[in-house]
Structure 1
Amino acid sequence: MSLKGKTAVITGSNSGIGLGVAHELAKAGANVVLNSFTDRDEDHKLAEALGKEHGVTARYIKADMSKGDECRALIEQAGVCDILVNNAGIQHVAPVDEFPAEKWDAIIAINMNSSFHTAAAALPMMRKAGWGRVVNIASAHGLTASPFKSAYVAAKHGVVGMTKVIALETAEEPITANAICPGYVLTPLVESQIPDTMKEYNMDRDTVVRDVLLARQPSKAFATVEQIGGTAVFLCSDAAAQITGTTISVDGGWTAL
């Protein structure tokens, strides 16, 4: 599954799932462009270290995924985009009638609209190169719902629908578009939430993980960022050339219920 010579742009990739995907793509030989909304020395050093670790070219480009023009500028600044991984996302939890309008707008913009803008900018590059892969990081919440997550669920359902449209529009070209739908993934952000959840429920760590965080995940095990990244590598490989317009769930059986 060599991706040598390809360039991958991964949004929201200076930590968590995005960074894990970037590592796996780089391990497969792809040059990578990391992204987030900050522009710190550590962001650029992170890209430099990733490139050295895997022997590829890696750089960091600042772009705010809540702004359509910056989404498109990210792709233009990258210059090449053989593989587009739309990963950037935020979350807010509240009942519909109490959901802050500004939070709704931000989640829709970052979690869904950014994927439209980046794809719109990347597809002409892929067509010119004669090859392309769009991998959208959706969610189990792109296929099912939970209460109090209206914006997130709406955005992720939208990403799944948009993935299908891109796939149909490129069906006769050597370009594919698919969505990965993770369940709960063990990221630094999730790990940091565990101690507070333990206090809230007066439970030990193992019980909190199994009965609270993974209550809807039948495997009772987190997915890992490496597994999400490995799935992305597969979707970019020749073995997946006829897989397009679909979703791959990495959710421990969540959506089988």
Structure 2
Amino acid sequence: MGVADLSVSLDGRTVLITGSTTGMGQDIARTFARSGAKVAIHGLGEQEAIAHFVNELSELSGHKTFHFDHDLSDGRQGGVLVQAAIARLGDVDILINNAGVQFVSGVETFPTEQWDRLLAVNLGAAFHAIKAVFPGMKRKGWGRIINTASTLALAGEVGKTAYVAAKHGILGLTRTVALEGAELGITCNAICPGWVYTPLAAAQVEAKAAALGLSLEQTTKEHFLSEMPTKRFVDPFEVASAMLFLCTENARSITGIALPVDGGISA
């Protein structure tokens, strides 16, 4: 894995990153910690590992890092999470809605409870978190909201009814919030990654390989990277670097976009 090499200082800014105790979220947290921001991470996991990660981020940023473990399968907890972060760190300057879950099944057999869970985590929690950070950003006249979408926010895929619906919804949410924040110094953008090799993606590769009776290598090559012109997974630090740029003053006129970081899929 690479390391983001951007000379960006966000010292004094507070960033809350949902879904940041594993996978790509950890790279995002590290990238913002290196910029000097005060970081609040969120997610579930093994407590000792999370404590170690919190200490790592504190050393990188020079500020105390806080961890929150709100269960976003109740989407309203997105707002509760923000309020808890504000109570510990003050107003949230940068909100990154990165938490995401997946479930794959045909629409005819798609479990209702999985539909509800995916819509809550992938879309509902983002709405409630944005609603909660907006007043503070408006008061300060500055804010950055970044939503992790997907190339599936721009297209469909068999078996991913809830995920695709939620990610399409994220783009609508992003564009509307961007318009509402345009005169307030608040930008809202979405990042649309291609295949990033995270635990979520690894689970899908393993499930596909088992279903097809193929090796992981063959499954990856033929069924995941075949559509990516670069023929490699996107590195998480590439996504994190794009997010970091969108939080700079150089990006203050960039709002309401869906930025592909997808190895050329959208081309």
Instruction: Tell me the CA shift for residue 65 of structure 1.
Output: 1.1
Percent of aligned positions with the same letter in both sequences? Answer: 38
In the alignment, which residue of structure 1 is the partner of 2:262?
A: 251
| Maintained 8 Å contact 1:144/1:255 | no
76, 82, 88: which is aligned to 1:75? 82
Distance in 2, matches of 1:37 and 1:64, equals 8
Instruction: Tell me the CA shift for residue 239 of structure 1.
Output: 1.1
Task: Give the secondary structure class of the aligned counterpart of 2:104.
Answer: coil
Instruction: Tell me the CA shift for residue 57 of structure 1.
Output: 2.7
In the alignment, which residue of structure 2 is the partner of 1:212?
A: 223
Larger deviation: 51-60 or 101-110?
A: 51-60
Instruction: State the aligned residue count.
Output: 255
**Closer, same or farther: CA 142–65 of 1 in aligned 2, 3 Å:** same
**Closer, same or farther: CA 150–120 of 1 in aligned 2, 3 Å:** same
| Maintained 8 Å contact 1:34/1:61 | yes
136, 158, 161: which is aligned to 1:150? 161
Distance in 2, matches of 1:238 and 1:57, equals 25
**Closer, same or farther: CA 198–38 of 1 in aligned 2, 3 Å:** closer
Q: Residue type of the partner of 2:214?
A: N
| Maintained 8 Å contact 2:194/2:234 | yes
In the alignment, which residue of structure 2 is the partner of 1:23?
A: 30
Distance in 2, matches of 1:81 and 1:224, equals 27
**Closer, same or farther: CA 53–20 of 1 in aligned 2, 3 Å:** same
102, 114, 130: which is aligned to 1:119? 130
Task: Give the secondary structure class of the aligned counterpart of 1:93.
Answer: coil
In the alignment, which residue of structure 2 is the partner of 1:129?
A: 140
| Maintained 8 Å contact 2:102/2:200 | no
In the alignment, which residue of structure 1 is the partner of 2:5?
A: none
In the alignment, which residue of structure 2 is the partner of 1:32?
A: 39
> Unmatched 5+ residue regions in structure 2?
1-7
Distance in 2, matches of 1:221 and 1:158, equals 28
In the alignment, which residue of structure 2 is the partner of 1:10?
A: 17
> Unmatched 5+ residue regions in structure 1?
none
Q: TM-score normalized by structure 2? A: 0.89
Distance in 1, matches of 2:226 and 2:157, equals 12
Instruction: Tell me the CA shift for residue 68 of structure 1.
Output: 3.5
| Maintained 8 Å contact 1:8/1:30 | yes
Instruction: Tell me the CA shift for residue 202 of structure 1.
Output: 3.2
1:109-163 Cα offsets, whole Å, 9 max, x none, are 1000011000000011111222100000000000111111010000000001100
Instruction: Tell me the CA shift for residue 216 of structure 1.
Output: 2.0
Q: TM-score normalized by structure 1? A: 0.93
In the alignment, which residue of structure 1 is the partner of 2:244?
A: 233
Distance in 1, matches of 2:203 and 2:163, equals 21
Instruction: Tell me the CA shift for residue 219 of structure 1.
Output: 1.5
Larger deviation: 29-38 or 119-128?
A: 29-38
Distance in 1, matches of 2:36 and 2:224, equals 35
Q: Are 1:59 and 2:46 an aligned pair?
A: no
Instruction: Tell me the CA shift for residue 47 of structure 1.
Output: 1.3
Distance in 2, matches of 1:196 and 1:118, equals 32
In the alignment, which residue of structure 2 is the partner of 1:160?
A: 171
Distance in 2, matches of 1:38 and 1:203, equals 29
**Closer, same or farther: CA 92–194 of 1 in aligned 2, 3 Å:** closer
Task: Give the secondary structure class of the aligned counterpart of 1:177.
Answer: strand
Q: Residue type of the partner of 2:232?
A: A
